[in-house]
Amino acid sequence: MKKLKCAVIGTGYLGKFHAEKYASLPDCELIAVVDINEAAAKEVAEKHGAVALTDYQSLLGKVDAVSIVVPTTLHHIVSKDFLNAGTHVLVEKPITVTVAEADELIAIARQNNLILQVGHLERFNPAVLGLDQEEKPLFIESHRLSPFNPRAKDVSVVLDLMIHDIDIILALVNSEVERIDASGTAVLTQGTDIANARLLFKNGCVANVTASRISLKMERKMRMFRPSSYVSVDFQNRVLTKHRTGTKEMFPGIPEIETEESVFESGDALLEEIKHFVNCIHTGENPLVSGEAGKRALETAIAITRLLGE
């Protein structure tokens, strides 16, 4: 199998890990990393035997695949340039700033028969991958709580944290959102730091989603009620717990509750995400988190932020 010539655009906190994963894959050749901070680019490039650049334009038409790990405001223009140059793109979440920008990237990727994948990393959490979708949820409740981190103070908690759960919920429910109610407040920054949204879907499912970046502890959990089961997903500890009605009775006429808990070994979600991206390039399969999925998550997140007055 021909090795893919790959590059990473942006070598900040997350970008350096993207570079590490590409460099570790036998069917990929990390040829370059790009960052406007020349020292940062050189540090990552030297570690993996790649070329350090400060301008991505010189790579257009010279690489097969790129990870775009730059500020969200640049996602559209950088992704657009590479897609127009015939390069497959993995762009970090959120896909773009606006829905119109997302639509344009999706259209270009489709026209050029290219893979456009969005980096919603939590989809590759082993506890999520282990979740069966035999039954559609009736009610979902999620909590994503984190201590304050100044790294993401330029965006609201909805686009920073809640969008992870929005993306997963939209995929699980697979129905149009009919109504959204939301409330939240700024505490430490100019944007919303803690928020709650209630999503009502056309198929009747309700999702209650809470995100906070001013908590004293970290918690990332999702619970869902389904017709014959209750499921809990602990993203942080990679634990999937299923409670369902069994064949025996605990009281006359009342079925017993069977519990099954799966604890997954410490996985590498980013590596799995990039391996999936590479596999989709080779096979032509649609990515687990396609451009369309990224757009749906963005569209819902924007609707929530507008209700919050942002």
What tens digit of pLDDT does each residue of 68-98 get?
999 999 999 999 999 999 999 999 999 999 9
For residue range 173-232, list pLDDT tens digits in order.
999 999 999 999 989 888 899 999 999 999 999 999 999 999 999 999 999 999 989 999
- What residue type is assigned to position 109 of the chain? A
Q: What backbone torsions phi and psi does residue 282 show, to the nearest 5 degrees? A: -70, -40
Q: Is residue 55 within 8 Å of residue 73, measured between CB atoms? A: no
Least confident among 154-158, 198-202, 305-309 = 154-158
31 pLDDT tier (thresholds 50, 70, 90): very high
The dihedral over CA atoms of 104, 110, 113, 117, expressed in degrees to the nearest 10, equals: 70
Interatomic CA distance for residues 64 and 30, integer angstroms: 10
Orientation angle between helical segments 15-24 and 38-48, nearest 10 degrees:
20
Please give the CATH superfamily to which domain 4-114 belongs: NAD(P)-binding Rossmann-like Domain (3.40.50.720)
Interatomic CA distance for residues 240 and 130, integer angstroms: 8
Sign of CA dihedral 171, 174, 178, 181: negative
CATH 1.10.3720.10 applies to domain 123-266+299-307: no
For the cut 90, the answer to whether the pLDDT of residue 151 exceeds it is no
Provide the edge-to-edge strand list for the sheet that holds 194-201.
177-185, 194-201, 206-212, 139-145, 219-226, 229-234, 239-251, 254-263
For the cut 80, the answer to whether the pLDDT of residue 266 exceeds it is no
Locate CATH 3.40.50.720 in the chain.
Answer: 4-114
């634990």: which residue's tokens?
A: 239
For the cut 90, the answer to whether the pLDDT of residue 245 exceeds it is no
Interatomic CA distance for residues 108 and 116, integer angstroms: 9
pTM beyond 0.85, yes or no: yes
Q: Which two tokens stand for residue 96?
A: 């773009």
For the cut 90, the answer to whether the pLDDT of residue 239 exceeds it is yes
Q: Is residue 95 within 8 Å of residue 37, measured between CB atoms? A: no
Task: Put residue 123 in one of left, alpha, beta given phi > 0 → left and psi -120 to 50 → alpha.
Answer: alpha
Locate CATH 3.30.360.10 in the chain.
Answer: 123-266+299-307
